[in-house]
Chain A
Amino acid sequence: MSISAQLPLEDYEHGYYFPDQSVFKTKKGLDESVVRAISARKNEPEWMLNYRLKAYQTFLKKDFPNWGADIGDIDFDEIYYYAKPVDKQQRSWDDVPDDIKETFDRIGIPEAEKKFLAGVGAQYDSEVVYHSLKEEISKQGVIFCDPETAVREHPEIVKKYFGTIIPHTDNKFAALNSAVWSGGSFVYVPKGVHVDIPLQAYFRINSENFGQFERTLIIAEEGSFVHYIEGCTAPVYTTDSLHSAVVEIIAKEGARVRYSTIQNWSGDIYNLVTKRAFAYKNATVEWVDGNIGSKRTMKYPSVFLKEPGAHGEILSIAYSGFNQEQDTGGKVVHLADDTTSVITSKSISKDGGISTYRGLIKVADGVKNAKSRVTCDALIIDDKSVSNTFPYMEVTSDDAVLEHEASVSKISEDQLFYLMSRGLDEESASTMIVNGFLDPLVKELPMEYAVELNRLIELEMEKSIG
């Protein structure tokens, strides 16, 4: 039983949920008819249906990865692959059904929007129900919508890029997502356009046993800039649920894309996400990836540095508590000269949680002047908890500089005593040490997210000691 299931609902900040009012749901389990039903429901063109069907065949053929966290107990027949809570896309906040609004209210979406949201793509179950984009940005030619809309309204762009960064043949879960994807975000930034305010989307699972398979595609044309932010809080359930997203990013010459995620899944979710970016000449892609909660997470955002001068950066933050395993890290492939990358990982393990850093730096044959720095710091809070580090390097070029630093630390009794001697109780003192450990990374997040992450860590720390 997961820790969240043991707690009364009101004890878990985001553990409320509302009666399942899905308007439409596919049957439990997955077969070709389910894939067809999803596609039909979305009135998709033939080419997308065919893509889904091909992907479904790939899914059947692919095995589970034979490494990483143990995910063998996922029962694909027990999952609903599609649920649609409301019939039509809502344009204004007023039109959003009350219970959905209330859910959003508690996550704080309207607040966030008031403050600095450019566009809000909020996902309730598998369909985007609320979406607004400030006028200035659409005037600049930026497209920010759900991928269904993009398929309908911008098929030429979608066809050109969809599945080119992460083909459905990539891995079993990418295949699954490609077959049943629903919702997510589509972002297109034209040449030279700088989107000043972060684009944000919120995802939330609110149907029991319901797998969420959102699909995100971000295309940044030459010299453009965009920061996309995604945050997740999931309600508490007692049975396992699957989240398997695919995120593809293309950063063309001189473009910069930053993608920040903080995920706080409840303790019963399998979180298996494939994230990959292609960075072209002098382009920069940054992934900031915070993982809190979930039963098992496997997530290794990656950047392929395809042309000279490209730069990739991955910041990974993981917190594993009771019954949780975070198998996270990053991957950078240096395919061209003068490419640079930085991977920074910070993990915290507590109450028997397992945090694993798994990373790969690959420098292709003949590549000149590639530089990469990998830093992994792990903090272990108690003797029951575990931290692993698997930093793989595959380097065939002889003109590459690779640095790797790893540290594992424990909260020291003297540190705790020092803080407690100022009046802090043990829990607050260790929370301060943990937040301090994360601070250099948290500073990279927008203010609002930094605050949220700190608060989430506090909740997690309270959960087990109390």
Chain B
Amino acid sequence: MQTLTIKNLTAEVDGKQILNGINLEINTGEIHALMGPNGSGKSTLSNVLAGHPDYTVTGGTISLNGEDLLEMSVSKRSLAGLFLAFQQPMEVPGLTIGKYLKRIVELRLAEGERMNVSAFIKDLKSNLDTVGLSHDFINRYLNEGFSGGEKKRMELIQMMMLEPSFAILDEIDSGLDIDALKTVATGVNKLKGGDFGALIITHYQRIMENIKPDFVHILYQGRIVKSGGRDLVDMLEAKGYGWVREEFNIPEEADEYQRTIAS
């Protein structure tokens, strides 16, 4: 079993403190869902985990199997088994998907090990089938001119090809049609098991019907204010986030703060 541990994490971007002390532990074999209103810091947490240079960690620790993740470079974190599916994937014109995926899969080979190219292509095709993209995508340029949903599916393809230990899926379900939602679930469930853990960031309860999370967390103003099981999701659906503030006695001034950082 592997473990990703976040302790008392605080972080800022552009001089503004966004994360206000996050505590979260994810083991392989577990699926966690993270929900929270717009601007509460979900993508900030993802970016901090992946090591985006714009985000500064001001306190706390993140460790991966006991190793200090914050000490690792962006690429090292990835090679160590962390994967981020971006809320807004970047376009890289001219970089064909086949070439790109081959390269990043190769990076994971043990020294001296040679890639089995035909197995790779077979894998890629089957993964394209799983997420419902045609094989023509192998020769498309990475995310260039993709529809929103295609970009999300391409994030999943990358995840499936890299087989990370931990995946953070930042709103992988937004912009997806209902059928695509199911394929996302298929993709995640394909990896689900002893060697894989995920943090699924979402606004919708629908994705939970297909990917059954073991834990649900609510992020509010840079803090996880409540963790629980799937019943939390129903509560949110029914009552919205106002309930969270009342329930947890979050002072009005914090809302003020919320409005300031959102403006």
Give B residues with C-beta under 8 Å from A.
50-54, 73-75, 77-79, 84, 86, 89-96, 100, 103-104, 107-108, 141-142, 158, 162
Contacts and interface: CB of A to CB of B under 8 A. Distances in A.
Given A415-B92, A436-B94, A421 B50 contact: yes
Given A414-B90, A417-B53, A436-B141, A422 B78 contact: yes
A420 B75 contact: yes
A437 B75 contact: no
Contacts of A417: 50, 52-53, 74, 90
A418 interface: yes
B74 A420 contact: yes
A403 interface: no
Interface of A: 412-415, 417-426, 428, 432-433, 435-440
Given A419-B92, A436-B94, A437-B94, A413 B107 contact: no
A423 B108 contact: yes
Contacts of B158: 422
Contacts of B74: 417, 420-421
A422 B102 CA distance: 12
Contacts of A436: 92-95, 141-142
4 closest A-B pairs by beta carbon, nearest first, are A436-B94, A439-B94, A436-B95, A418-B90
Contacts of B86: 418
Contacts of B104: 422-424
30 contacts: A413-B54, A414-B90, A417-B53, A417-B90, A418-B86, A418-B90, A418-B92, A419-B92, A420-B74, A421-B74, A421-B77, A422-B158, A423-B78, A423-B79, A423-B107, A424-B75, A424-B104, A425-B73, A428-B103, A432-B103, A433-B92, A433-B95, A435-B94, A436-B95, A436-B141, A437-B93, A438-B94, A439-B93, A439-B141, A440-B94
B46 to A, nearest CB: 10
Nearest to A409: B93
B155 to A, nearest CB: 10
A409 to B, nearest CB: 9
A419 B54 CA distance: 16
A413 B53 contact: yes
Nearest to B104: A422
A417 B51 CA distance: 8
A431 B96 CA distance: 14
Nearest to A432: B95
A426 B53 CA distance: 12
B199 to A, nearest CB: 15
- Interface hub of B96, B103, B141 (most chain A Cβ within 10 A): B103
